[in-house]
Structure 1
Amino acid sequence: MSVATDRSAARRTREPGTPPRSLVALASAALVAGTGLAIWVLPAETGGWARAGRPPHARVGPPHLTTLPAADRAPGPALPSPVGGRPSGFVTFVDTVRDPLYNLPRAARQSNVRWFTLGHLTAGQHDCTPEWGGGQEQDGNPVAGRLGRLRAAGGDAGLAFGGPSGRELAAACTDPGRLTAAYRRAVGAFGTTYIDFEVRDPGDGETVLRRAGAIAALQREAAARGRPLTVSFTLPVTGTGLSPRDEAMLRSTREAGAEIAAVNLLAPIWRAPTGQADLRPVASAVRAAHPQVARSLGEPTAWHRIALTPVLAGSQDLTAADARKLVAFTTRNGLAWLSTRGAAPTSEVTRLLTAIAR
């Protein structure tokens, strides 16, 4: 009997109710395809994740609580929760106007830095509208536009108001309500949990109280949402410590209800006659500022409330040995964090500075 005849006979002897093999194969293929589709559309694990385009854990609020800039609201996987809280370890400052090509997520991967500070926001053409460098709209900054991808990589960044140029927002915006709203818009737009005030001139008493009142209001609002807002002040320091006006400003700000987490000291690097960096004046300046910070913040001791930021005139201002000394000084005294300003240190020095324990 031929093979064809045998197969025909097998089909004729199939038990009643048994579907043809071709139909079984077709149904199996449909089941596999349907299962694959079901798995594809299932929601991913949500532990530590949030919907794309909105800072994680942010609540839907009034119109001023905006989401991240449009550049970070592209379709795709939701972003993990940012580091949040307050800076620690080594904090990289980024001048977003002078260095518009700075890539936050790439820098985080290459340097192992988790915290950045983005500056500076000052008063724009309209006194109560903060802009980058006083001339670039908040959502038009390419560096800040990468903040979402930085958070996806496990990092975070704060916003720096003030700085060496432009009009400080609290001095330019004399209406307390509009000033508070201006800070609120900036904080909400970038979903940040940390802001810094780099005050080169503390201003008169009214300016100090306007700024303090706005900070206190924002911190109350943030606490009510369950996302505390960390605030620091960046101030210049000399061999005698802080200036009396800066010390008084800190005290008045704290007494007005604002909580100051840290005072970041800008300390210029001194050069010895040999041309080498001399870090002893930096250490002396920090020690001189310590009792001033403690008194201003109403603390018996304030080492953990002090951050140190050496200001470099050139990339060679710090050697590898200097970097190790700075890290040791920061760790030994329990300072809040370490950073640098001015010229970028060499790659070797950067690697040593960023190795500081977080």
Structure 2
Amino acid sequence: MPVATDRPDTLRAREPGTPPRSLVVLASVALVAGTGTAIWLLPSGATGEWSARGDRAAAAPPSGTPRPAASGRRPAVDREAAVSRPSGFVTFVDAARDPRFDLPRAVRTDHVRWFTLGHLTAGQKGCVPTWGGLRDRDGAPVADRLGRLRAAGGKAGLAFGGPSGRELASACTDPERLAAAYRRAITAFGAAYIDFELHGPAATATVRRRARAITVLQREAAREGRSLAVSFTLPVTGAGLARHDQEMLRATRAAGAEISTVNLLAPVGAPAAGARLRPVASAVRAAHPQVARSLGRATAWDRIALTPVLAGHGRLTRLDARRLAAFTSRNRLAWLSTRGVALTPELTRLLTGALR
């Protein structure tokens, strides 16, 4: 029961160090107003799959995601923490179709920092990489600008494989020659990282050769005191990754290779569709537990990159770009890129600014 008191002054007294009630009220009002402003600044129309409610930062991990066991021990040091890999917005450059792309100019005018140059595939000589299977490795003027790109503050990686041509690991059946082919390309262009874009299943021998070559190159880099980030670009659907891609990731990791990122190629619907980006978000969420299991991790959001593919559906709108940037940031994905229809300089600057 309440205790009566005849000392009303105690109700007005403050403990030493306690702020006056008026200041507490003002602070509460400011907090509410600030929260309202932050919510207002979210991209308009960012609802459902694109709202914070549906993203990792505000929700439990998707079903099927293994949860780390509770432990009082200090977490192990992540061996990949020091690996230099792309971040923010990454511009893909098709060195075969657009050989004169001005990399340094893109750094200066569009503020892009990271680029991926592709695609290197096997030419007539199985163990010699060529641009798109057509141009010699040294026959693309865009690659000659890499020195000036680095001087301007940019970085570039190489993409092997791609939607056309024969993958190098499939054509070059000698593991040592395959590793040497990758090594020559990395050295010639001073690649900051390498990516393997795969479409469709590959023979077990091809997967093993590629994995062995990656492991050899990464161990060589470690002995030299540097790192070599390796990513895989894989198509994704509403069901996530194909089973053969999940098996390939597991086999590559089992061979000793370190996979820094899995980049998801997600098709974008027609502009007329009111929710054209929702399937993209759903595909990423479906792929997350699969990527986590394949990489042997409890969670893998920061190991997933997103590349929406615009094929015959027109350009992204400003609202689309803002939603993609917000989705990438809230889920803390590794990076964002695009393929297909080229972005306007305005949208490129919007994305690089939003994801800086």
User: TM-score scaled to structure 1, two decimals?
Assistant: 0.74
Aligned equivalent of 2:281: 283
Aligned equivalent of 2:243: 244
Deviations 1:216-241 (A, max 9, x none): 00000111111200000000000000
8 A contact 2:270–2:313 mirrored in 1: no
- Equivalent position amino acid for 1:190 in 2: F
Aligned equivalent of 1:306: 304
8 A contact 2:132–2:164 mirrored in 1: yes
Aligned equivalent of 2:135: 136
The whole-number CA distance in structure 1 between the counterparts of 2:124 and 2:87 is 34
8 A contact 1:90–1:353 mirrored in 2: yes
| Deviation, structure 1 residue 139 | 1.6
- Equivalent position amino acid for 1:159 in 2: L
Aligned equivalent of 2:334: 336
8 A contact 1:315–1:344 mirrored in 2: no
Q: How does 1:180-191 map to 2 (within 5 A)?
A: 180-191=179-190
The whole-number CA distance in structure 2 between the counterparts of 1:110 and 1:266 is 27
Counterpart pick for 2:319 among 318, 321, 324: 321
The whole-number CA distance in structure 2 between the counterparts of 1:99 and 1:238 is 28
Q: 1:251 to 1:104 in 2, by over 3 A?
A: same
The whole-number CA distance in structure 2 between the counterparts of 1:264 and 1:277 is 22
| Deviation, structure 1 residue 309 | 0.3
Aligned equivalent of 1:211: 210
Deviations 1:130-185 (A, max 9, x none): 11111212222100110000000000100000001110000011111111111111
| Deviation, structure 1 residue 201 | 2.5
Aligned equivalent of 1:162: 161
Counterpart pick for 2:352 among 349, 354, 358: 354
8 A contact 1:276–1:317 mirrored in 2: no
The whole-number CA distance in structure 1 between the counterparts of 2:244 and 2:129 is 25
% identical equivalent positions: 70
Q: Structure 2: any 5+ residue segments left out of the alignment?
A: 1-82
User: TM-score scaled to structure 2, two decimals?
Assistant: 0.75
The whole-number CA distance in structure 2 between the counterparts of 1:265 and 1:155 is 23
The whole-number CA distance in structure 2 between the counterparts of 1:164 and 1:277 is 27
The whole-number CA distance in structure 2 between the counterparts of 1:320 and 1:314 is 18
Q: How does 1:1-358 map to 2 (within 5 A)?
A: 85-271=84-270, 274-276=272-274, 278-314=276-312, 316-358=314-356
| Deviation, structure 1 residue 85 | 1.6
The whole-number CA distance in structure 1 between the counterparts of 2:138 and 2:345 is 31
The whole-number CA distance in structure 2 between the counterparts of 1:277 and 1:155 is 34
Secondary structure, counterpart of 1:354 in structure 2: helix
8 A contact 1:277–1:317 mirrored in 2: no
Question: What RMSD over aligned residues (CA atoms) do the two structures have, in Å?
Answer: 1.4
- Number of aligned positions between the proteins: 274
| Deviation, structure 1 residue 317 | 3.5
Deviations 1:178-217 (A, max 9, x none): 1111111111111112000001134111110100000000
- Equivalent position amino acid for 2:220 in 1: E
| Deviation, structure 1 residue 277 | 5.8
Q: 1:144 to 1:135 in 2, by over 3 A?
A: same
Q: Structure 1: any 5+ residue segments left out of the alignment?
A: 1-83
The whole-number CA distance in structure 1 between the counterparts of 2:180 and 2:246 is 27
8 A contact 1:316–1:345 mirrored in 2: no
Secondary structure, counterpart of 2:314 in structure 1: coil
Structure showing greater radius of gyration is 1
Secondary structure, counterpart of 1:338 in structure 2: strand
The whole-number CA distance in structure 1 between the counterparts of 2:261 and 2:347 is 25
The whole-number CA distance in structure 2 between the counterparts of 1:356 and 1:144 is 28
The whole-number CA distance in structure 1 between the counterparts of 2:135 and 2:95 is 10
- Equivalent position amino acid for 2:108 in 1: R
| Deviation, structure 1 residue 325 | 0.6
8 A contact 1:315–1:345 mirrored in 2: no
8 A contact 1:121–1:132 mirrored in 2: yes
8 A contact 1:316–1:346 mirrored in 2: no
8 A contact 2:262–2:303 mirrored in 1: yes
Deviations 1:101-141 (A, max 9, x none): 21100011111000000001000111011111112122221
